[in-house]
Amino acid sequence: MIPRLIFHVDVNSAFLSWEAARRVKNGEPDLRLIPSAIGGDVATRTGVVLAKSIPAKKYGIQTGEPIAQALRKCPELYLAQPDFRLYHQNSEAFLAICAKYAPVVEQFSIDECFLDMSGTGRIYPDPIALAHRIKDEIRDTLGFTVNIGIGSNKLLAKMASDFEKPDKVHTLFSEEIEEKLWPLPVKELFTVGKSTAQRLNAARIRTVGELAGTDVQRLRAMFGNKMGDHLFRYANGFDDSPVLAESEEAKGYSNSTTLAEDIITADEAHRVLLALVDSVASRMRNDGFFASCIAVTIRGNDFRDKSHQKKLSEATDIT
């Protein structure tokens, strides 16, 4: 059986990087070097932060917080409005570069994708060198940086890409789990939200390693069988989900995101939905399509999905 080799490519501060790259190309200052953010209405200074620069992060500015609050933390914060057409163009551009090298590419969100490099050892004998090649081509051709994580499954590759940023390549293979994954706080484990991390910490399970060593029956008692099994598997680095290329004949447009913290108010949910919808509508307008049915799916921290859909009386491409 061919060993699995998965890359996860993640654009560093995507919305801000894409806006910054456009401005640098036009001879303007680089937004990545100053306290800056994407989001809201620049004139009224309302809305929420969709992305922030590293200098802005030093002021404690967080993605998803109100613009007014961010400005109180950093009055000199430079604000730029979202441009989802630009984001879609850059997303397609970096995916195209990835597709030059990988037999299978799965777009995970507008700014990240998985590459299934399994069985390519004769073509690319050094996967780390290949990851650097892809990373550098994206940077040198498109003007923005990515992190690439390399692992033996999608989970480990994604966790690796979240290590030190920006413009880095990291590995997280099965034999590296004890050294690189287990010392991390449980909140750093992919899909563990704020409330789940709090419950684990209250049970004196503070690191991924402690979670990996916890009896699965105890986790099932705390979170239910499905969630308990999931936490145990992920903490031990197990993930057999395949890398799936999206069909060319897809009859719908979609976008999704996994949130670092649980959403608990309608206002917070509406902000996330607005960002996702704006991206989808922009892609539809760019391709000349209209939607006559809208569906929304929410996955809770218990991994149960709730979906609703509605047929529209008139097809639309408006956010």
Question: CA 265 to CA 250: how far, in whole Å?
Answer: 32
Sheet with 36-38: list strands edge to edge: 51-52, 36-38, 78-80
Question: CA 167 to CA 144: how far, in whole Å?
Answer: 9
Where does the chain have alpha helices with state H? 14-25, 54-57, 67-73, 84-101, 127-142, 154-161, 194-202, 208-212, 216-223, 225-235, 266-287
The closest alpha carbon to 294, from 258, 319, 263, 259, belongs to 319
The closest alpha carbon to 186, from 153, 203, 164, 209, belongs to 209
Q: Which of 28, 65, 112, 164 is catalytic?
A: 112
The closest alpha carbon to 102, from 174, 167, 150, 171, belongs to 150
Question: CA 264 to CA 202: how far, in whole Å?
Answer: 20
The residue type of 241 is: S
3-state SS class at 312: strand
Cis peptide before 35 (omega within 30 of 0): no
Sign of CA dihedral 85, 92, 248, 153: negative
Q: Is 248 a catalytic residue?
A: no
Question: CA 167 to CA 317: how far, in whole Å?
Answer: 35
**CB burial class (10 A; 0-12, 13-18, 19+) of residue 87?**
buried
Residue 43 corresponds to which tokens in the numbers above? 């004139």
Catalytic center residues: 112
